[in-house]
Chain A
Amino acid sequence: MRTILLTHGLAALLAFNSCTAQAPTTAGIKNVSTLTLRVDGDCPMCEKTIEAAAFRKGEAHADWDVDAKTAVITIDSTRTTVDAVLRRIAEAGYDNERYLAPDKAYAGLPGCCQYERGMKHEPVKGDVHHDHANAHHAEAQPSVFDKEGYRGTPQRDEPVEQQPMDPVREKSALEALFAHYFELKDALVAGNGDAAKQVAATMGEVLHRMDPTKLTAAQQATWEQLITEAMPLLHPLSETTDLATQRKLFAQLTAPILQLAETTGEGTIYLAHCPMYEGGADWLTRDKAIKNPFYGSMMLTCGSVTRTITK
């Protein structure tokens, strides 16, 4: 509560300062009222989105500063309110002092705009009530989803298939790992953070349980690379449902999996490249048609196949 009071106090102070400083620059808006507030974002693209979301002709206008992470908001106080403007900015995906963006709006931002959500408070975990609630769900769900005629959400509700951990079939464990990679990619294409989280957890489990002594030398090299390079990515991937974080990790996962593809892959797979994401990122696909896992439905067909791997 104290932090809230503090930020509000700060906002009021800033408002006082900026009223005198900013007033002359707001042509077209009458009954001017100006306020400077914190609005989070990352890049010049954010600036465009934030300012466009705020803008209403003759009514509201925002000037966002990428370095200070603040917006000077100018309104006609007889026609609108600062809250209305901040709400629009948040609906466009940008957290600010008074409103936090809907998670879906944030997840829909381009990769470069996915700023650190410093203003969002961490959900409490391990709370007694909360656990009770989850237990509650677990009980309630079967009655709902088992029922004839009702079809739930396939990605989310069907358990991820667990591969048997038979030590004599370590090679198939590598194959399973490989198959799960595509599931993970598909989950990210679909923008389904829950499914991606589950698949990543399964991959970590498969890798963890593998016995390297049962592998050939070439496979062992691959396994080592996976343990050192993929495992540190899979762990955080399985800890979050936040798509932006998942996609960043997934971009790094492609290199070790490519190694795996070269030792275990079957049939033809393709290496695809997205020039936009984080300065360029790769992914593997079994299907030549581009379905970009880094941006989901926003830029589904962005990217091109750069290599064909046949085995």
Chain B
Amino acid sequence: MGQGAQGLRPLGTSVPKGDFTPKVTRYELFISDTMVNYTGKERKAFAVNGQIPMPTLEFTEGDTALIIVHNVMEKEETSLHWHGLILPNEYDGVPYLTTAPIRAGETQVYKFPLVQHGTYWYHSHTGTQEQNGMYGALIIHEREAEPMPEHVVVLSDWTDLKPDEVLRRLHAANDWSAIKKHRIRPGSVQSYSDAIKAGALGVKLKNEWKRMNAMDVSDVYYDAFLANGVREDSAPGLKAGDRVRVRLVNGSASTYFWINYAGGKMDVVASDGADVEPVPVDRFIMGIAETYDIIVTIPADSTAYELLATAEDRTRSASVWLGDGVKQLAQPLQPLKYFEGMKMMNGMMKMNGDLDDMGMNMSLQQMDMNVVMYPEITGPDKKTKRMDMEHGEHMDHGMMYNSNALSDIVTLNYSMLRSPTSTALPPGPVTELRFELTGNMDRYVWAINNRTVGETDRILIHKGEHVRIVMYNNSMMRHPMHLHGHFFRVLNGQGDHAPLKNVLDIMPMETDTMEFLGTEEGDWFFHCHILYHMMSGMGRVFSYADAPAKPELPLPKHAWRTFLSEDKEWHFMGMSDFANNGIDGEAMLMSKRWTLEGEWRLGYTEMHGQEVETHFGRHLGKMQWWFINAGIDWRTRMHGEGPEENLFGQGNTKDSRSVGHIGFRWTLPMLVKFDARIDTDGRLRAQLMREDMPLTPHIRLDAMVNSDYEYMGALRYVFDKTWAFRTHYDSDMGFGVGVTVTY
């Protein structure tokens, strides 16, 4: 590290000013599990030295960090990754990839020189521990910096659900998060009744025609958003005229935050630790894992000015009060206009699931399609700004989404960042990679070039090489892409002064280009920093050729497999209805591409009988609209009624069946699933089914009809994530009323 073999200096390293004697700064960290209570409910979490967030580690550039990490938990293993730091690969802290995991009771020592300055952070890279408290700020002070009051703010999101359950529910396309959001922000479920109220039924229908479930700007419902572990943090002791450097870290697992300040403009002076030329803005959005340094002014005495961090879904916010006295509020962000967003997506989505940017060449957050949902930019209701724009002759198509052109609020975007020093790379060979970010919400699989990290091998790179990545986001969600152990240059039109970052937020339909210089050794993770996207496959590993062996990982093949095992995990979901006429339900075991599922209908009488079906199959295509499967179908009953033949004129075996079958399931427009199969006796069956149609925020409709003249209709009222009341009519079982349990 540091000076590489070719004498290359890593991008983003700094030469400390003045004469100084380097010293070693030592921290001892004790990781334990603990119980916390943010919402009135006791929950398990992780703490370091008894605190959440983990303690802020402060260093000075040119010194050496010595961090001794003790895992004092009984069973769980853990890890710590030093986010944004340029350091030897074995200290990067990705368990099984670069570093050994810290097993229960073990101690690990990190010692590395501090070759840069700025605002960074550290967090667990094991499972979902980061969601539950394992995040903290890491500050490397510049030598001989202008003295100025400082305040460090670590933002985070908190859910009362276990993070593993959050992930499991996302894979099951369960919309409980939306129902929870609906209680704070009505309309969040984007149900049919919400659509009718908003006068947007046509928009909703077109959305489902294009096979989209309700879209949201974030997938997870959070019970609280925190600044330094509390909803309201404060920085007292400031006086009028003071300039304060606020070091903001977005340490959340999956929340983008809008930052607004009540005391005037904010000067953005650094991003992801790297200095930028000051840019005065009214607001900016912080991607997950991004850091921003801002300088703000305290306008008057005896007043505490609000620095407001609002979650992108605008359900809740966290506040930091700068100064003391009466609290000057920042203007809160009004609820999103969801159906405007849906309408915009309808326009951009092609029938095959690809996105169409209509020739706008979007990049660097300059055009934010979401502005259609922001009342502060496009007006309080859909009529206002839209009308102006239709009549405005000067607006080209792209201007419609440029929030800085649409309002007098200045919103930061990446094209406004400029490095104060040249970041031009020394001459060298260039390798260009093209990454298309893809994903599907229904099964929650996120990928690069339609391959998850577990489905690909490492990308080999060489020292001295320029690795240029052209990224295109062909998914419906934004992704904060993070590269370990390097800064990259964001090619944003600033030429030699392209800003350095280590996280790049890329919005849907954007194409961004970044490049980094190969100066290190070993393996470096590149991944989406939305925890649940990373866990669902969105990543790659860059691997330097001729890297030395890693003594801390003595079984490299085994370690690599263990590293990837997270990506290959199977998730279980199940639901069963207990009604007066019988029990029916289904259970599924799912991986990225495969599903094993079972369905059952168990009557209480011989007439209704019993029926069990199983399928095992593979999902095909980027959008996974195809499911090719084989299975077993078994049933017995003493019904004796109903049609003798099926639609294809074949005999009916509804009373006794024990066959195998193969077939496929295809998701049609309106999210109708067409299921066709042939069984081992040569009988055909075709079926149309629609499940979970959201009539109102709480009511779901299921409907089914097939070529055996079977049909079913059901209405469910969802009480909470587990319980629902259900009434249904089934051609075999008749009318039933009962409760549904969902796991």
In the docked arrangement, what's the CA distance between A105 and B329, Å?
10
Interface size on B, residues (CB 8 A): 44
**A98-B399 in contact (CB<8A):** no
A145 → chain B, closest Cβ, in Å? 9
The answer to whether A124 touches B404, judged by C-beta atoms less than 8 angstroms apart, is no
Query: Does the CB pair A91–B241 fall under 8 Å?
Result: no
The verdict on A13 contacting chain B, using a C-beta distance below 8 Å, is no
A144 lies within 8 A of B279 (CB): yes
Among A4, A100, A124, A190, which residue has its beta carbon within 8 angstroms of that of B241?
A124
A149 to B133, CA, bound (A): 41
When distances are taken between beta carbons in the complex, the residues of chain B under 8 Å from A129 are 241-243, 297
* Binary per-residue interface labels of chain B (237-280) against chain A in the complex, 1 for a CB within 8 Å, 0 otherwise: 00011110000000000000000001001010000000001111
Q: How far is the CA of A3 from the CA of B303 in the complex (A)?
A: 12
| A153 B407 Cβ-Cβ under 8 A | yes
- Tell me if B493 is interfacial: C-beta within 8 Å of chain A: yes
Do residues A4 and B302 form an inter-chain contact, with CB atoms below 8 A? Answer: yes
**The residue from B280, B301, B402 contacting A137, defined by CB atoms under 8 A apart:** B280
Q: How far is the CA of A124 from the CA of B239 in the complex (A)?
A: 10
Q: A129 vs B379: C-alpha distance in the bound complex, in angstroms?
A: 36
Asked whether, in the complex, the Cβ of A99 is within 8 Å of the Cβ of B326, the reply is yes
Q: How far is the CB of B224 from chain A (nearest CB, A)?
A: 15
- Would you call B242 and A153 a contact (CB within 8 A)? no
B300 touches A3 (CB 8 A): no
For the complex formed, measure the closest distance between the CB of B513 and the CB atoms of chain A, giving whole angstroms.
Answer: 14
Name B412's closest neighbour in chain A (CB-CB). Answer: A144
CA of A151 to CA of B416, assembled, Å:
11
B410 at the interface (CB under 8 A from A): yes
Residues of A within 8 A of B330 (CB): 102
Contact with A along B357-382 (1 / 0, CB 8 A): 00000000010000000000001100
Chain A residues whose CB sits within 8 angstroms of the CB of B295 once the complex forms: 133
B416 contact from A99, A127, A144, A156, Cβ within 8 A = A144
Q: Mark A142-156, 1 if CB is under 8 A from B, else 0.
A: 011001111111111
Separation of A101 and B240 alpha carbons in the complex (Å): 19
In the bound complex, do residue A121 and residue B301 qualify as a contact, i.e. CB atoms below 8 Å apart? Answer: yes
Say yes or no: is B328 at the interface (Cβ < 8 Å to chain A).
yes
Contact with A along B395-435 (1 / 0, CB 8 A): 00001001011011110010110100000000000000000
Question: Which one of B241, B279, B330 has the greatest number of beta carbons of chain A within 10 Å?
Answer: B241
CA distance A123 to B263 in the complex (A): 10
Q: Report Cα–Cα, A105/B327, bound state, in Å.
A: 15
Contact of A133 among B243, B301, B328 (CB under 8 A): B243
Q: Is B324 an interface residue (CB 8 A)?
A: yes
One of B267, B300, B332 near A136 (C-beta < 8 A)? B267
Contacting residues of chain A (110-162) with chain B, CB-CB under 8 angstroms:
119-124, 127-130, 132-133, 136-137, 140-141, 143-144, 147-156
**CB <8 Å contact, B267 and A91:** no
B493 & A127 in contact (Cβ 8 Å cutoff):
no
- The interface bits of chain A over 264-289 (1 if a CB of B lies within 8 angstroms of the residue's CB, else 0) are 00000000000000000000000000
CB neighbours (8 Å) of A152 from chain B are 404, 410
Are B408 and A100 in contact (CB-based, < 8 A)?
Answer: no
Within 8 Å by CB of B405, from A104, A121, A132, A151, lies A151
Most chain B CB within 10 A, of A105, A121, A297, is at A121
The reply to whether the CB of B643 lies closer than 8 angstroms to some CB of chain A is no
A102 touches B303 (CB 8 A): no
Q: How far is the CA of A130 from the CA of B241 in the complex (A)?
A: 6
A122 close to B331 (CB less than 8 A):
no
Task: Please report which residues of chain B, range 162-183, place their CB below 8 angstroms from some CB of chain A when the two chains form the complex.
Answer: none
Give the shortest distance, in Å, between A40 (CB) and chain B (any CB): 12
In the complex, which residues of chain A have a beta carbon less than 8 angstroms from the beta carbon of B326? 4, 97-100, 119, 121
Given that A124-B300, A133-B267, A137-B267 are contacting pairs, would A90 and B278 also be in contact in the complex, using a CB cutoff of 8 Å? no
Could you tell me the distance between the alpha carbons of A140 and B402 in the complex, rounded to whole angstroms? 21
How far, in angstroms, from A106 to B325 measured CA to CA in the complex? 20
Residue A18, interface by CB 8 Å: no
Is there contact, CB below 8 Å, between B280 and A99?
Answer: no
Q: Which residues of B contact A91 (CB under 8 A)?
A: 329, 332
Q: Does B598 contact A (CB under 8 A)?
A: no
Contact A150 B300 (CB under 8 A): no
- Which of A98, A147, A151, A156 is close to B493, meaning CB atoms less than 8 Å apart? A147
Q: Find B300's partner among A121, A128, A140 (CB 8 Å cutoff).
A: A121
Known: A102-B262, A121-B302, A141-B280. A148 touches B405 (CB 8 A): no
Q: Which residues of B contact A87 (CB under 8 A)?
A: 329
- B242 contacts which chain A residues (CB < 8 A)? 129
User: Does residue B299 face the partner (Cβ distance < 8 Å to A)?
Assistant: yes
Given contacts A129-B242, A150-B415, contact A1 B302 (CB under 8 A): yes
Are A1 and B324 interface neighbours, CB within 8 A? yes
Q: Which residues of B contact A150 (CB under 8 A)?
A: 366, 404, 413, 415-416
Cβ of B615 to closest chain A Cβ, rounded Å: 49
Query: A144 → chain B, closest Cβ, in Å?
Result: 5
CB distance from A11 to the nearest CB of B (A): 12
If A150-B366, A153-B408, A155-B408 touch, does A123 touch B299 (CB 8 Å cutoff)?
Answer: yes
Residues of chain A within 8 A of B327, CB atoms compared: 90, 98-100
Smallest CB separation, B396 vs chain A (Å)? 11
- Are A99 and B329 in contact, with the CB atoms below 8 A? yes
Encode A288-306 as 1/0 by CB contact (under 8 A) with B: 0000000001000000000
**Does B25 lie at the interface of the complex (its beta carbon under 8 Å from any beta carbon of A)?**
no
| A192 interface hit (Cβ, 8 Å) | yes
CB pair A90 B405 closer than 8 Å: no
Distance (whole angstroms) from the CB of B335 to the closest CB of chain A: 13
Q: What CA separation (Å) do A119 and B303 show in the bound complex?
A: 10
Q: A102-B262, A124-B241 are in contact. Are A147 and B415 (CB under 8 A)?
A: yes
Q: Which residues of B contact A141 (CB under 8 A)?
A: 280
Q: Closest residue of chain B to A101, judged by CB?
A: B329
Q: Is the CB of A153 within 8 A of B410?
A: yes
Knowing A4-B325, A124-B241, the reply to whether A102 touches B332 (Cβ < 8 A) is yes
Which residues of A sit under 8 angstroms from B407, Cβ to Cβ?
Answer: 153
Residue interface mask B498-516, A partner, CB < 8 A = 1: 0000000000000000000
**Nearest chain A CB to B306's CB is how many angstroms away?**
9
A67 CB, nearest partner CB in chain B, Å: 22
A103 in contact (CB, < 8 A)? yes
Bound-complex Cα distance A144 to B413 (A): 11
Q: Which of B314-356 contact A (CB under 8 A)?
A: 324-332
| Inter-chain contacts of A122 with B (CB < 8 A) | 300
Cα separation A151 to B384 with both chains bound (whole Å): 21
Q: A99-B329, A100-B328 are in contact. Are A140 and B279 (CB under 8 A)?
A: yes
Closest to A128 in B: B241
Q: How far is the CA of A102 from the CA of B328 in the complex (A)?
A: 7
Contact of A105 with B331 in the complex, beta carbons under 8 Å: yes
Find out whether the CB atom of B302 lies under 8 angstroms from the CB atom of A127: no
| Residues of chain A contacted by B408 (CB below 8 angstroms) | 153, 155-156, 190, 192, 194
Which chain A residues border B280 with CB–CB below 8 Å? 137, 140-141
- A151 contacts B300, C-beta separation under 8 Å: no
A37 CB → nearest B CB, Å: 11
A123–B240 CB distance below 8 A: yes
Residues of chain B within 8 A of A137, CB atoms compared: 265, 267, 278, 280
Q: Is A140's CB under 8 angstroms from B277's CB?
A: yes
Q: Which chain B residue lies CB-closest to A105?
A: B331
Residues of chain B within 8 A (CB-CB) of A119 are 326
Query: Which 6 pairs of residues, A with B, have the shortest CB-CB distance?
Result: A127-B241, A121-B300, A102-B331, A123-B299, A124-B240, A153-B408
What would 10 A/B residue contacts be, using CB atoms closer than 8 Å? Answer: A100-B303, A105-B331, A121-B325, A124-B240, A129-B243, A147-B415, A150-B415, A152-B404, A153-B407, A153-B410
Given known contacts A120-B328, A122-B300, A151-B404, what 9 new A-B pairs fall within 8 Å (CB)?
Answer: A1-B302, A4-B325, A105-B331, A124-B241, A129-B241, A129-B297, A153-B405, A190-B408, A297-B379
